Amino acid sequence: MSTETTVAEVKKPAEALLSKRRKKLISDPLVDDNPITIQVLGICSALAVTTQLQPTLVMAISVIFVIVMANLTISLMRNTIPTRVRIIVQLAVVATLVTLVSEFLKAFAFDMYKELSVFVGLIITNCIVMGRLEAFALGNKPYDSILDGFGSALGYSWIILAVAFFRELLGSGSVFGVPVYDTLAGFIGDDFSFATNGLMVSPVGAFIILGLIIWVQRTKTGYVEH
């Protein structure tokens, strides 16, 4: 860290911990600048892990951890990172964090590790992570970077959770592994039955749900691609 920035900070009154600008860092990526639906990043994992809610939730938590920590680390190092190798440095930091997540899952949540092993590794190539590092963490202070990373990760998380909810409900007839239709049949009577849709289990189902979410969202916000 250079002394320059600290001097500048002393001059103006300290910004509130959650000032308007900082709140925007978190809230913008949720809808108006959502990484998946607006920036169309991280689609691959959004299609792959979202067949069921439980692995999706673990994936979301892992991505939140990785983005926030990577943003923090890169932001702390931003004035020392040589410009010419910055992408490799970012990649090394992200890969380390992802490996840590994978190791911890293996030690403490072995069942999850078995289910998610491939996809946790693929967080490294999640464009959202690298995107936030390049676009934000390299040029902003650590605390702002944490907020920005958290916002982007939340934006990513709620979308994949929403997709997973519909895919699991329509494709497997359950929510978080609880068989909804069978339970409903227990209340209403055995006449109640609902055929599960195999399309929802395949990645095509995720495309459809994602497309519908984007449609609804853009109708509401009036966002148009230029």
Partner 1 sequence: MQQSNAYIIIFSVILTVVLGLLLSGTSQVLGPMQRKAEELDTKKQILGAVIDADQIKAMKPDEVLSFYENRIASKVVDINGNILEKDADGNPMVAEKVNVGKNYKMPADKRMYPVFIFHAEGNPDEVESYVFPVYGAGLWDEIWGYLALQTDLNTIEGVTFSHKGETPGLGARITALNVQQRYQGKEIFDGSGNIQSVVMQKGEGKDYSSDPHKVDGLSGATITANGVNDMIKNYLQHYSAFLEKQKSSQKTEMASLN
Q: Which residues bind partner 1 (CB under 8 A)?
A: 48-49, 51-52, 55, 80-85, 88-89, 92-93, 96, 99-100, 103-104, 106-108, 110-111, 114-119, 171, 198, 201-202
Q: Is 37 exposed, middle or buried (0-12, 13-18, 19+ CB in 10 A)?
A: buried
Nearer to partner 1, 110 or 215 (CB): 110
Nearer to partner 1, 24 or 106 (CB): 106
Q: Please state the closest distance from residue 32 (CB atom) to partner 1, in A.
A: 31
Nearer to partner 1, 61 or 216 (CB): 61
State how far the alpha carbon of 47 is from the alpha carbons of 132, 136, 147, 209, in Å: 21, 26, 26, 10
Nearer to partner 1, 17 or 108 (CB): 108
Structure tokens at 29: 């990526």
Q: Please state the closest distance from residue 224 (CB atom) to partner 1, in A.
A: 34
Q: Please state the closest distance from residue 187 (CB atom) to partner 1, in A.
A: 22
State the DSSP H helix or E strand holding residue 175, giving kind and residue range, or none if neither: strand 174-175
Nearer to partner 1, 93 or 213 (CB): 93
d(CA 60, CA 195): 29
Q: Among all chains, which residue has been given the structure tokens 């978190």?
A: 26
State how far the alpha carbon of 129 is from the alpha carbons of 30, 70, 87, in Å: 15, 8, 12
Q: Please state the closest distance from residue 174 (CB atom) to partner 1, in A.
A: 11
Q: Please state the closest distance from residue 87 (CB atom) to partner 1, in A.
A: 12
